[in-house]
Amino acid sequence: MTRTHDSDPAARGPEERTGLELGAFLDWGRDLHHQGRYEDAVKAFELILGVDGGNEEALIGRNRAVRRAVPRWHWEMLHDEERAELYDRAIRQAVAADPDALVLDIGAGSGLLAMMAARAGAREVVACEGQPSVAETAARVVSAAGYDDAVTVVSKMSTRMSVPEDLPRRAGLLVTEIVDCGLLGEGILGTIEHAREHLLAPDAVIMPSRGRIIAQLVESQALHRKNHVGKLYGFDLAPFNRLSSLEYFDSRLHRHEHRVLSEPVTVFEFDFRTADARPRRTELRIEPTAAGTLHAVVFWFEMELLPGITVGNPPGRDSHWKQAIQCLPAPRRVQPGEPVVLDAAHDGECVRFEVAAGAAPAGEPAREPAARPAAHAEFEVVS
């Protein structure tokens, strides 16, 4: 049987064969993307761009995959001037105290903090970044800035690093910012615990050195609606609430109509020089400052980078971290003189609150005032 020109790749010209190969790679990249294998999809599209740098389909495909793999909060974070200025001040102070100390930057992102350390005079900086596309880009940023003689970017999670394979020796200064709006959500406790055991010198400076989580009771129908639904448009949509968040989400409190129902209280405190990721639980008795409907617990953090230098995301501050919002499953009526008992717990990565049984649901009469006074923990941080 004689093969036709259309069915025989060898009978086609080089340009036609190349077009077919690129088409196959495009299909491969799209398939990887649809499977949720975004980093593999990036590599597939980059193979095409290596042959045809202007291939629009590959450029768009690569960007779509990168957008899935790299959260957009990176850009807002980089424009957080207060955060950058405070970290820069703390880094300059720590490096000036020991310029020969090896600096380890965990969760390097763009490489900004690593370059700050090099600019401050650190002679050797290792920046690790677990997201491959971000790590590759950070290396380009560092090189373009002229700091690649001092900064080495390692594309690996710090918990998979070791000495001397990834670090020439144990680091004398750790710099990290792997925190979310609720402080623990990016695994800072376990990550620093691993670093202390495997990557840091015994007397290493750890930045941040301390942290605390602070919470406040809030009335806000607007926040409640971000996580709950009832009867709308003639239908009962309440069964959809089985998909609502049981834990917190981030939002800017000041952008939602709200009324605070208590003073802020300290929930958990952490000394990152000794803290571990074991779960913890505590009971809080919070005295309401006004009568109202409790819809949510709003919480945020303060981190002491070094003594006297503190960064955080309290309500009203223009921080890229926003605040952490945990809506109650059902609103509760509260009033002064009747402390609200909150069970607060974390599993090493996430903080969660529950109102103890006994608080009156919204619309029901409140109980008689409780006898025990409210507790308000203090943690003095100089900012």
Residues serving a catalytic function are 177, 186
Amino acid at position 139, single letter: A
Residues 6+ apart with CB under 8 A from 325: 223, 226, 248, 249, 250, 251, 253, 296, 297, 298
Cα–Cα distance measured from residue 102 to residue 167, given in angstroms and rounded to the nearest whole number: 9
Amino acid at position 204, single letter: A
Tokens representing 188 are: 């800072």
N- to C-terminal Cα separation, the chain: 84
Cα–Cα distance measured from residue 87 to residue 126, given in angstroms and rounded to the nearest whole number: 17
Paired with 127 in beta bridges are 105, 153
Residues 6+ apart with CB under 8 A from 92: 116, 120
List the one residue out of 51, 73, 47, 75 whose CA is nearest residue 61.
47
Cα–Cα distance measured from residue 308 to residue 312, given in angstroms and rounded to the nearest whole number: 13
- CA 356, 358, 363, 367 dihedral sign is negative
- CA distances, 283 to each of 69, 98, 157, 343, 360 (Å): 38, 42, 35, 5, 18
**In contact, 226 and 251? CB cutoff 8 Å:** yes
Cα–Cα distance measured from residue 178 to residue 155, given in angstroms and rounded to the nearest whole number: 16
List the one residue out of 65, 127, 125 whose CA is nearest residue 100.
125
Cα–Cα distance measured from residue 41 to residue 25, given in angstroms and rounded to the nearest whole number: 10
